[in-house]
Structure 1
Amino acid sequence: MIDLGPLSWMVQVGAAFAIAFFAQSVFSSRGRHGRTVIRAMIPVVVLTLLGAAWLPHPIAGILIGYFGSRAFGHWGEARSGLLAAALSAAALMALGASWLMFPLFFMALGWLASGGPSRGRRRVRAPKVEDKPAELPAQAGGTPVQVAAPAVGEGPLAPYLADGRVPAQARAQLVALNLRTQEALALLKDQGLEGTEGFFVARAIREEYAPEAVQAYLKLPRSLADTGVIQDGKTGAALLTEQLELLLDGVQEIIAGSLQSGGQALLTHGRFLRERFAKVEQDLRVPVMVPVADKVK
């Protein structure tokens, strides 16, 4: 230990700030990276050597919480951080917190008993939809009509729905895009509007715009795709979800337009029916016969 004499109180104050800095660093989104843990550990070592002999003990307690939160989740994502934390634990034990080996030993046993390395394997499954087709209620004793449910795992967006590199929010948006574009194309086709701009835009969103957005995201470095700022404080993941949201809004406008088009046709047909059957009703109306006696009176 280095004795700084009258300035030792500054070391004690700095040690308090080092505890806050260490906790904030390791439990942040960047805490899964080894360089973040090492950077937070440097002032701890320096201040301990300068006279804050008590400092390794609270840092060791924080480190136990870090191991518990990172190792028992998807530990593969924080592998470098956990390795740096293990080196930090060795340094803390050398600086005086030798008791740290006992909780870490039992945590390691619990980690191995709960699956160990296999806990880091991300299992991603394609989104499921019900295989049972939807049924329309029977009308006037007829047989219920079955309509096949749209298949989420098919089409040009299907490969990205099961890709673990794509953020969960973006995968949910892709599922919605897959269903909405399929719905929009089917509606426009049924209305005979296959040659319209809306049809081509919906198909382009499904086959070009959405896949290209995901492909651009997947080209980013994996370690920085969700944390590195690209523009206006937004990460690659944030930009991807923003672009997919714009595409969802575009598809929804196309569906709303097809609703107006189909609704207009329905209203026109309704006016025709009213004019047609109102005239028939008037022609078939039976005149009321007045008795002759009543006429004489």
Structure 2
Amino acid sequence: MPPELNILPDAISWIVHPAAGLALGHFASVIYSRQGKQFGLVIRAAAIIAVLAVLGAGWVVHPAAGMLLGFFGQRAFHRWQHHSAGLLAGVLAAGVFMVLGASWLIFPLAVMAVIWVFTAMFRSNVPVLERPAEPEVPALPQQAGGLPVSAGAPAEPVAIAAASAGAAHRTAPAAVAAATDPFTALQFDTRLPGDIRAQLVALDLRTQEALTHLHALGQASSEGAYVARAIRDEYAPTSVRAYLNLPRTRADVAPIENGKTGRDLLREQLELLLDAVQDILDATVQAGGQDMLTNQRFLREKFGKVKKELDV
């Protein structure tokens, strides 16, 4: 039985037991937190338990001893070197608790000590595996988008990162344009066959050329300009979307009309639109040609007479 000293008057001896409960909470908050690494803090919390046990709350050493078992199990088997000061304080506290009545603590502590010794021996015999060196990643050649690297001088990571950031900044407007312009976006749609995308690129170039010529001729609001814009913004996208709505596995092989697949029909439709834009271009050439012929007649009449007079 733990030695109990009744040095307090009976009228206030009852305060020892609630104080012991508070001391247990404080003891647990110390040993199960970062404070459990510090020798002095663990000793002080254990001393409070011991004093209260001597003053009459002898029962308090038993739950405190149980907490110590959890403390040892938590810190002794994982990087114990970092907790050595706290563990030493815990061993001293365990000795005091056993003297004050928790003699049963000797048996679980002995078992834990044996397990700890065998565990330490096993770890010391296991060879430490060296981490394999990471393979060196060669720099991209300049043809593949990398930076030119002079012989014998490694590429600077900061320069590569800056170049990548600059390239991303430079290509951002093009990416935004492709995302906001439906017709341009279709030219980069990987679901379309290569020949179809080539037709779309040609159609884009021809419509832009036709609109530029019509604008230069002062005919930006003419019927030809309206048709060119409609081909680019409405007719061609509608044909492409109809093709994309077909099942991907059958769009290029399943006949739809007269043995023609969806891909064949789309190719014909884009060809018709290309011919329509070509007609608009031919019309602009004729309009521009008429102006050139008119100017040529004027020049002949004006300077032809002058030439004849000079010859005479």
TM value normalised by structure 2 = 0.45
Q: In terms of Rg, which structure is larger?
A: 2
